[in-house]
Structure 1
Amino acid sequence: MADFPTSARVVIIGGGAVGASALYHLAKAGWTDCVLLEKNELTAGSTWHAAGNVPTFSSSWSIMNMQRYSAQLYRGLGAEVDYPMNYHVTGSVRLGHSRERLQEFKRVVGMGRYQGMDLDILTPDEIKTRYPFVETHDLTGALYDPNDGDIDPAQLTQALAKGARQMGARIERFCPATGVRRDGDDWVVQTPKGDIRCEIVVNAAGYYAREVGKWFGRDLPMMVMSHQYMLFDTIPEIESWSREVGHKLPLLRDVDSSYYLRQEKYGFNLGPYEGNCRAHWVTPDDPFPEDFSFQLFPDDLERLEWHIADAMARVPLLEKAALTKVINGPIPYTPDGNPLIGPMPGVPNAFEACVFTFGICQAGGAGKVLAEWVTEGATEWDMWSCDPRRFTGFEDADYCVKKGMEVYGHEYAIHFPHHVWPEGRMKKLSAVHDRTAALGAQFGPYNGWERALWYARPGDDTSGDAQRTWDRQGPWFNAVKAECEAVRDAAGILDLPGFSRFRLTGDGAADWLARQITGKLPSVGRLGLAYFADAKGRIVTEMSVARLAEEEFTLITAATAQSHDREWLQKHLAPGLTLTDHSDEWSTQILTGPKAREILAQVATADLARGWLTHQTGTIAGAEVWLCRVSFAGELGWEIHSRRADTPQVWDAVMAAGTPMGLKPFGMFALNSLRVEKGYRAWKGDLSTDYTVLQGGLDRFVDWAKPEFRGKAALEAERQAGVAKRFCTLVIDAGDCDPPYMSTIWHKGQVVGELTSGYFGHRVGACIGLGMLRADLNQPGTSVEVEIFGQLYPATVQADAPLWDPANARLRA
């Protein structure tokens, strides 16, 4: 094996479409000293049996970016690397049966237009002009995507592999990785042909990714489903039509019936996503196989009978076709259906690009994203939707199986803003869960923690069906209004289990932390918001920083940011400093409203005259508590932090004192309403690496006098050149629906920005949008329009001050 590489800069484990794309994009970035290891032939896993559809459609902005990039790459890849590829850009027709489905389509059309794609909505009559063989009598319309189509997965993989080789990268087939070990700052990847020493390892092992992850001490949140699709023989009418017009039929998706139907040569390929689906390799009598290369599961068509009959009623020509072949192969799923692309949590110089449910349409973009993570340490688009750190370790095997089956069975489901999926629930409960549930709390999970979303009153419809609407005035609306009014007029209490909480100590902690954030550190006894930027000045995360002593800090951040923020801090941590994660030891209540001090005075031993942005230790009902004088609701208030074991007695004492004064529990929906009225940003919505600190309107959190902080040079250059777009607050005459994430802002026929949050503010009685607007238009009083489900609604730019209590008098009371 004299020619076998003994060292490389990067080793990729797995030779499917994603692994090959990662190698291709690393080489394209100039990192040609990279090796891909494949245990069998390239494509031996899920790539081999994939249907090869290449949609750009997604309700996720980042995944749409990734899939759009893939489609663009594939159109020119064959010519670029001189490899023949069967890539049919046929377009697609995505059928809608309801008003709500058409609203989803119109939202995606707006997003796609902003990304430069020419998506369109078809009326039922227009559908026939694109697809003459379909029955349309019960449809409300369709989405047409001219860029959709299908590709040969094996040819795609080989083309990417050829391109990577041409640039100098290496591929070792029939060479399984058998383990890894850490040797100093290097990884050593073990194979039957010898060891390879490298700087960086990438797990691109598809449905074997969990087994590979174990070598790194990691239990990947994933499971494996079987997906079947059926191939049908030639249909004379299809052949005649195709020869006459010179192209294939568009790919048809009946998403409300949950299947795709694609022309395959002159026959059909039918692929359902059935509700009565099947997981594999999850029980002792169905163990994970050592090798499943180029293998399939036995046919299991009984589960698909309804979908087959429905497809035949939708396209009657299908009834004439003879079934020639059934493909039933494994597809990996994460608990939310999105892949894992990015840093391997807790493991240095290791990355993941695996667990792709739609690996063919995402492979091109995934390779780009992975290469950016490896070579630059950051990605062009904010890719939190696929970041492995969005999972934090509570996702056990049972959870992964239940959520994976739920996602598969609802693959085409609409993700309504107030709907909560039922599987995998009650993983982490607040210490007062029983108390909030008894008060009518309707829960939703945040990093596995069940939090009250809203409190139902007698007669409120709490069924899942009631949540399936885009309309603002669902059953929660009046309940949330009452919760917000209680916070405004008396006081509200919000149970917030799961805050991420880190303690930073050690000589030099203050100097180190000052270099990590853009702004100033608080003095001892005070706290403040801090923003962490990357080298390009983009917003990485937001934390509350409380200074306990000169060299001791508590950092508090979002529940969902636990793994992300801990990793960020540890990655940059200076020698001699200690960072400890205390997230699971504490719980929090927000007590807020004009009567908050009066209520707290009855139960707390503390100095309640201390001002805004201070913190102190006190007692409530004999329990030690940490009181922080802040409120995300924008009213007089405190965060009451207590150890989990003490939280029930603290809650009971506050409720007993406050109820006679009008204290009411409130939930996350009300908090969302309250915070948009104050212009407070939410992480991974308003605050993301899609925007710089200056674009985010966070100038007051930048200390330009500091000699050094990450991103300073980039932000100084941006400030000098002029910020192209800036954070804005809009009041929108929005009709019946609040604008979804990434609704576009229009001015005189041009798209000039986008919304990052939209919700109804009950204290000000208006729909509010937070977002990014072209800088020259970001002036109070400017009239713009916001596109909501395909319709433009008038909106007005507000002053750079909160809509509610602009002088912060109530907050500082």
Structure 2
Amino acid sequence: MTKHVKALVVGGGAVGASIAYHLAKAGWKDVVLFERDELTSGSTWHAAGLLPLFNMGYATSHIHDYSVKFYKTLEEETGFDAGFFVVGNLRMAQTDERMDEYELYASTAETVGIPYEFLTPSQIKDRWPLVHTDDLKGALYHPTDGYINPADVTMAMAKGARQRGVEILRKRQVDSYEWAGDHWIVKGRITGEKGGNLIATEEEFEIHAEHVVTATGNHAQRTAKQLGIKMPAIPVEHQFIVTEPDPALVEYRKTNPQHPVLRDADAKWYVREERGGWILGPYERNAPARFEFGVPDSFRADLFPLDLDRIEEEYMSMIHRIPSSETVGLKDDFNGPICYTPDGNPLVGPAPGLRNMWLAEGFSFGITAAGGTGYYLAQMMVEGEAEIDMASLDPKRYGQDWMTTEYGARKNEECYEHVYILHHPDEEREACRPLRTGPAYDRQKALGAQFGVVNGFERPNYYGPLDAPENFDHDARSFRRGGWWEYAKAEAEAIRNAAGMVDATAFAKHRVWGPGATAFLDWFTTNKLPKVGRINLTYALTETGTTRTEYTIVREAEDSYYLVSAGGLHAYDEDYLYKAIEDKEDEFGRINREDVTTKYGVFALAGPNARDILKELIVDADPDMALSNKRFPWLSMRNIELKMCPVMAIRVAYTGELGWELHHPIEMQNYLWDLLMKAGEKHGLKPAGVRAQNWLRQEKSYRAFGTELGRDATPLEAGLDRFVDMEKDFHGKEAMQETGIRSMCVTLLIDGPEDADPWGREALYDGDTKVGRLTSGGYSVAFGKSIGMGYVSPDKAAVGAKLNVKMQGQLWDAEICEDSPHDPTNARIRQDG
């Protein structure tokens, strides 16, 4: 008889066990977990079990924080000791720049509520005399974390899941997934052993599940092929060694508690105590990716041969840092696969293109993240959304149309190597680049463009000096005002005072048309739909009424629309839009849609002289009138010709100046670039990057998706009431109203340090009380000081309120200003020609 269940979790490691536990705890009945071999037989069994709270990501910090707190409760609930040793975590710094990194992290930690303290080298030596400190600048200490036994915590969560009604079945090899319209049919075979290998027997099974979650660890590539999707979750070799007992450590322990976990980030390793000896885990160069095409059936709880030569440098640096370890022999070694993704964050959330299929893959720190992942993913599945914005972990952040196996493998090797390399806020990694480029890439590079990557696309961050050394971009990175800062400032000033042009080709662009298009978009988005030839800014909401996507909608004809959204979230937005269209087409009528992202390039031309530049190029009987407010008003669209290039020109500028977005055929991009640059010479046109644009949009209080806008705040909390038409019914409206106002988005001018600006990760204080956090930050050329945007409690959101921003370990004065502090009446945007 076929079994029907509410949810099937595939994978019996720490992540799968946590998901099953939390789904049951959230109230779901009929939850089943399948494991192909034995629980913990994947990466879990050979993990070192560390629980580092250090993370620059807001969502990931919440996930790790939940895990650490949750694991401490398991023994009381289940009676099973999870093996949690709260010994603390000492993260050491050899350089001032590393301390800057810790200061930035510390402010992020405060927004989550993670405790920490800073220590001087002498304080480190006083507490832990085995550590050599003469060459240290200091350290960041987390007193509440430590390490845990991976197998024990997994078994504890499994026991808790069983106590809540979850059925856990081992030796279940899933072979196929089939969507039946309202549920999944999952088929496979019970596994057995033959000749020491794990094989699928002839005994088959079939289970029907309303929801499926895959937590298959190193087997993620096999899972992706079964589902017909792509995901860059590919394992990388990770080695760690265990030493014989260290007599000095044994002596130390006679009168002291366990030694804290040590991390020498500049030496690229962690060390923790293990039965009187040490475990050394390095993150060395040249660790190879493995199993790009799937894990062999013969690979079970197995390991790779150790490559000691590869970690010699890290081993010698451990001896330097812990001199007593020099004479200690090696007791054991491990070299096993640990799954990675290109940015080091796991893939957690709905699978692209599929219904009720959820991914929990790519965990490089799986033990640390398991507890929190189960908690927040269960919220998404049961309640429709998590209490924190999980977009930074969404599986669709790597598009389905361009991401390849080679890309995933090489980027994951790079990510492994970068675990302890300084994580600058303006970090850009070099592997697999350039990959996706617009036609104007070479022209921009020749002008000194220093590129960043969004959705695989190269786009200029800023334009550096033409005589810069080859490594200029690397040298420009800093936790303060790096070498790039003066160039971004000049670009921002050019846009405010003359003209600048930003390459916005990476924008996600879709066309939606047909008899049902108008009714659908009216239901799908919050704002009134524009009239033909006009544009509107609008939002699509989640089921819980928070912001899911921001769109600029251009109405090309009565039932034809052009939608523009964030370039970094192309597949993320497309998946949500297309699924919504499928759901509503029967109700509203036929709705056609087309992804035209790579069909059109976009140049954003802005500044007081923008109209004069276009006048020289537009083909029109009356060029002056063609670009006037009368014929081409603000927030309108016209199809124009710039010499021989047809252009959809949209009169809008993300920088808050007179400007147009020039959407053009991608094959004519170089022609148009050359035209604009030549025409702009006498008008002070300067090519500009996205860093200057980011500063300028904050001067206008323009919210950005992924920072101010996300799935943890409603448009009303974001202060976007003017883009929400409460007279109509739209998806998520009732939930948005029920949520109310929990916090408010504000803009602040900041009297910060002379050599630094906020990055958008800092805590906000009223006296000694934390009242919010920044979500964006930068420099204001209009006001000559730092600027930021963020969320504060409603009672602290009044214009003129005095607050403080935590930067570099100090509190700096900040004042909430009116929205759009630069040109609040929009006179510059609306200026006529």
Asked if Structure 1 and Structure 2 have the same fold, meaning a TM-score greater than 0.5 normalized by the shorter chain, the answer is yes
List alignment gaps of at least 5 residues for structure 1.
none
Question: Hey, what does 2:479 align to over in structure 1?
Answer: 470
Q: Which residue of 1 aligns with 2:227?
A: 216
Structure 1 distance, partners of 2:783, 2:412, is 41
Match of 2:693 in 1: 671
Q: Distance in 1 between matches of 2:504 and 2:603?
A: 6
Q: What residue in structure 2 maps to residue 230 of structure 1?
A: 241
For residue 168 of structure 2, what is the amino acid of its counterpart?
I
- The Cα offsets for residues 88-126 of structure 1, whole Å up to 9 and x where unpaired, read as 111111001111211221222233233232211111111
Name the counterpart of 2:40. Answer: 43
1:781 has 2:800 as partner? yes
Of 709, 713, 729, which aligns to 2:734? 713
Does 2:542 correspond to 1:507? no
Secondary structure of the residue that 2:174 maps to in structure 1?
coil
| Correspondence 1:726 to 2:744 | yes
1:176 aligns to what SS in structure 2?
strand
**Distance in 1 between residues matched to 2:127 and 2:467, nearest whole Å:** 47
Confirm or deny: 8 A CA contact 1:740 1:788 kept in the other structure.
no
Could you tell me how far apart the structure 1 residues matched to 2:495 and 2:108 are?
35
* Aligned match of 1:332: 339
CA shift, 1:742, in A, is 2.5
Q: 2:683 maps to which residue?
A: 661
Q: Is structure 2 residue 203 aligned with structure 1 residue 195?
A: no
1:810 is matched with which residue? 828
Is 1:568 aligned to residue 586 of structure 2? no
Distance (Å, rounded) in 2 between the aligned partners of 1:154 and 1:242: 25
Output the CA distance in 2 between the equivalents of 1:528 and 1:477. 33
Shift of 1:453: 1.0
Q: Is the 8 A contact 2:219 2:295 kept in 1?
A: no
Distance between the aligned counterparts of 2:490 and 2:248, measured in 1?
Answer: 61
1:362 to 359, 362, 369: 369
Number of residue pairs the alignment of both structures matches: 800
Say if 2:402 is the partner of 1:383. no
The answer to whether 1:91 aligns with 2:88 is: yes
CA distance in 1, matches of 2:186, 2:796: 55
Alignment of 1:55-70 (within 5 A): 55-70=52-67
Q: Which amino acid aligns with 2:215?
A: A
Q: Which residue of 2 aligns with 1:623?
A: 645
1:702-781 equivalences under 5 Å are 702-706=724-728, 708-719=729-740, 723-735=741-753, 736-781=755-800
- 2:125 corresponding residue in structure 1: 128
Q: Tell me the distance in 2 between the aligned counterparts of 1:116 and 1:450.
A: 36
Alignment partner, residue 198 of structure 2: none
**Structure 2 CA distance for partners of 1:200 and 1:102, relative to 1, 3 Å:** same
For residues 186-227 of structure 1, the C-alpha deviation after alignment (integer angstroms, 9 at most, x for no partner) is 211112231111122212110101111111111221322111
C-alpha distance in 2 between matches for 1:464 and 1:383: 30
**Using the alignment, how far apart are the partners of 2:737 and 2:783 within structure 1?**
37
Say which is worse superposed, 574-583 or 553-562, in terms of deviation: 574-583
2: CA distance, partners of 1:751 / 1:15: 40
8 Å CA contact retained: 1:631, 1:638 = yes
Counterpart contact for 2:385–2:543, Cα < 8 Å? no
Distance in 1 separating the partners of 2:113 and 2:696: 34
Deviation at 1:715, TM superposition (A): 3.4
Given that residues 460 and 475 in structure 1 are in contact (C-alpha distance below 8 angstroms), is that contact kept between their aligned partners in structure 2?
Answer: no
- 1:75–1:87 CA contact under 8 A, matched in 2: yes
Q: Are positions 1:696 and 2:696 aligned together?
A: no
Mapped contact 1:764–1:803 kept (Cα < 8 A): no
Q: Is the 8 A contact 2:243 2:278 kept in 1?
A: yes
Distance (Å, rounded) in 2 between the aligned partners of 1:213 and 1:465: 35
Report the Cα distance in structure 2 between the residues aligned to 1:73 and 1:724, rounded to whole angstroms. Answer: 26
RMSD: 1.6
Work out whether 1:799 is the aligned partner of 2:818.
Answer: yes
- Note if contact 1:94-1:252 (Cα within 8 Å) is conserved in structure 2: yes
Alpha-carbon distance in 2 for matches of 1:580, 1:377: 27
Partner of 1:496: 504
Q: CA deviation at 1:460?
A: 4.5
Maintained 8 Å contact 1:38/1:173: yes
- Confirm or deny: 8 A CA contact 2:3 2:208 kept in the other structure: yes
Residue 363 of structure 1, CA deviation? 0.4
Offset of residue 328 of structure 1: 0.7
Counterpart for residue 604 of structure 2: 590
- 8 Å CA contact retained: 1:484, 1:763: no
Alignment correspondent of 1:277: 287
Contact 2:353 2:579 in 1 (8 A): no
User: Residue 267 of structure 2 aligns to a residue in which SS?
Assistant: coil
Deviations 1:665-704 (Å, cap 9, x if unpaired)? 1111111121111111111111112222122111111212
Deviations 1:434-492 (A, max 9, x none): 211111111111111111111112445652442231112x2222222222222122211
Give me the whole-angstrom Cα distance separating, in 2, the residues matched to 1:116 and 1:626: 48
1:778 Cα deviation from its structure 2 partner? 2.0
Of 72-81 and 185-194, deviating more is 185-194
Deviation at 1:302, TM superposition (A): 1.0
Partner residue in 1 for 2:195: none
Q: Deviations over 1:13-63 (max 9, x none)?
A: 111111111111111111121211111011111011111111211111111
What is the 5 A alignment of 1:336-351?
A: 336-351=343-358
Confirm or deny: 8 A CA contact 2:460 2:688 kept in the other structure.
yes
Which of 254, 260, 281 is the matching residue for 1:243? 254
Residues 1:185 and 1:468: Cα distance change in structure 2 (over 3 Å): same
2:303–2:336: 8 Å Cα contact kept in structure 1?
yes
Does structure 2 retain, via aligned residues, the 8 Å contact 1:419–1:464?
no
State how far apart, in whole Å, the 2-side matches of 1:590 and 1:464 are: 24
Alignment of 1:300-319 (within 5 A): 300-319=307-326
Q: Partners in 2 of 1:106 and 1:456 — Cα distance?
A: 28
Identity percentage over the alignment? 39
Q: Which range moves more in the overlay, 62-71 or 676-685?
A: 676-685
**CA distance, structure 2, for counterparts of residue 405 and residue 716 of structure 1:** 46
- The aligned counterpart of 1:82 is 79
Residues 45 and 292, structure 1, Cα contact 8 Å, conserved in 2: no
User: Retained in 2: the 8 A contact 1:226–1:280?
Assistant: yes
Mean CA deviation greater in 602-611 or 580-589: 602-611
- Do the aligned partners of residues 173 and 282 (structure 1) sit closer, same or farther apart at CA in structure 2, a change above 3 Å counting? closer
1:605 aligns with 2:627: no
Question: 2:669 & 2:807 partners in 1: Cα distance?
Answer: 42
- 2:360 pairs, out of 346, 353, 369, with 353
Aligned equivalents of 1:199, 1:243: Cα separation in 2: 55
**Superposed CA offset, 1:373-431 (max 9, x none):** 22223211111221101110322122212211111111112221233211121111112
Amino acid of the residue matched to residue 759 of structure 1?
G
Aligned match of 2:200 = none
Alignment partners' CA distance in 2, 1:560 and 1:147 = 35
Q: Secondary structure at the match of 1:177?
A: strand
- Paired with 2:472 and 2:671, the residues of 1 have a C-alpha distance of 32
Q: Secondary structure at the match of 1:579?
A: strand
**Distance in 1 (alpha carbons) for counterparts of 2:805 and 2:403:** 38
- In the TM superposition, residue 782 of structure 1 has moved relative to its aligned partner by 2.0
Aligned partner of 1:422 among 430, 441, 458: 430
Q: Distance in 1 between matches of 2:128 and 2:433?
A: 42
Aligned partners of 1:23 and 1:435: how far apart in 2? 53
Taking the aligned partners of 1:30 and 1:595, their CA distance within structure 2 comes to: 61
Unaligned stretches of 5+ residues in structure 2: 190-203, 621-625
TM-score (norm 1): 0.96
The Cα shift of 1:333 comes to 1.0
CA contact (8 A) 2:233 2:361 kept: no
